[in-house]
Amino acid sequence: MVKATFLLEWMARRGDIAHSAEARAAGFSRQTMADAVEQGLLKRVRRSWLIGPAADDRLIRAVGAGGRLSCLSAASRHGLWVPTHASLHIAVKPTASRVPRNGVVAHWSVGPAPVTQYATEDHLLNTLLLVAECVSRDLALTVWESAVRRGVVEAGVLSRVDSRSLRAREVADACSALSDSGLESIFLARFGGHGVGIRQQVWIDGHPVDFLIGDRLVVQLDGFEHHSSPAARRRDMDADARLTLLGYTVLRFDYQQVMFEWERVEAVLATAMAQQVHLADRRRA
């Protein structure tokens, strides 16, 4: 029982998940492991993985599928903004076979950042590179900028990684730390190629606006978690009114519109610019 207690303490320091080969290397015998499993203190996955009660379910599922957590699933575990996804994303060896397909997206990949043989989660750089290959450019850019905003990686580091991926290089070149939210990153990625000047986090009369298009068109975004109280809603209305009185046109869009009704958002913006509301000299015409 004493040996099992030491094993449990060792497991706890490792997040309650470890390969039995690692446990043996740490000095625990097969019998000690077997005793802990028999007593219900630990359980096994794929025979060789030891699982404690506090192990992250995503990591358990990843090793159970024969890989390590990566791509969108690992980015989510890092606390990054990720698009909604139902499947578990894992990285597996290029030679891996018999990978479950039901509810699992497997990436046969070896990233530029080395990981240990029994890693349960991919290196963050490998994770971000797989995101760039897995989802659209605008969504990938949003995930990357989320990592930069949270301070888990620097944009300069991302630009120097030898990814050997054109998609990753494009995302790295576009990545910045200006966006306040994932929604802003997506908006910029989708609208930034229209050939009109667009700036982020511009201060007007002592307050920042999400985007300023041209000279006079302000775009404000209400994110997925923007559940305004009456007081907060009034503050938004006051801000929009203040900007209007200063001569700006204010357009406000929410998460649903930007993510799932982009054609309508784009049409509204195009109509506004066709009326030249984004130009300062239009006011004097």
Do 38 and 124 fall within a single domain? Answer: no
Instruction: Give tens-digit pLDDT for 79-129.
Output: 998 988 889 999 998 887 778 778 999 999 888 999 999 999 999 999 999
Q: Which of 174, 192, 212 is the last residue of a domain?
A: 174
Do 192 and 274 fall within a single domain? Answer: yes
Q: In the predicted model, what is the mean pLDDT of residues 22-46? A: 95
Do 94 and 14 fall within a single domain? Answer: no
Do 69 and 164 fall within a single domain? Answer: yes
Do 211 and 166 fall within a single domain? Answer: no
Q: Which two tokens stand for residue 36?
A: 């802990």
Q: Which of 131, 157, 174 is the last residue of a domain?
A: 174
Do 170 and 259 fall within a single domain? Answer: no
Q: In the predicted model, what is the mean pLDDT of residues 240-258? A: 92
Do 195 and 254 fall within a single domain? Answer: yes
**The predicted structure's pLDDT at residue 228:** 60
- pLDDT class of 285 with cuts at 50, 70, 90: very low
Q: Per the structure, how many domains does the chain have? A: 3
Do 161 and 208 fall within a single domain? Answer: no
- The domain of 191 spans 182-284
Instruction: Give tens-digit pLDDT for 160-176.
Output: 998 888 899 988 888 87
Do 43 and 68 fall within a single domain? Answer: no
Whether 254 has a pLDDT exceeding 60, the answer reads yes
CA distance 260 to 230: 26
Do 73 and 161 fall within a single domain? Answer: yes
Instruction: Give tens-digit pLDDT for 40-62.
Output: 999 999 999 999 999 999 999 99
Q: Considering the chain, what percentage of its residues have pLDDT values greater than 70?
A: 95
Q: Which of 145, 174, 203 is the last residue of a domain?
A: 174
Do 245 and 276 fall within a single domain? Answer: yes
Do 231 and 276 fall within a single domain? Answer: yes
CATH number for the domain harbouring residue 248: 3.40.960.10
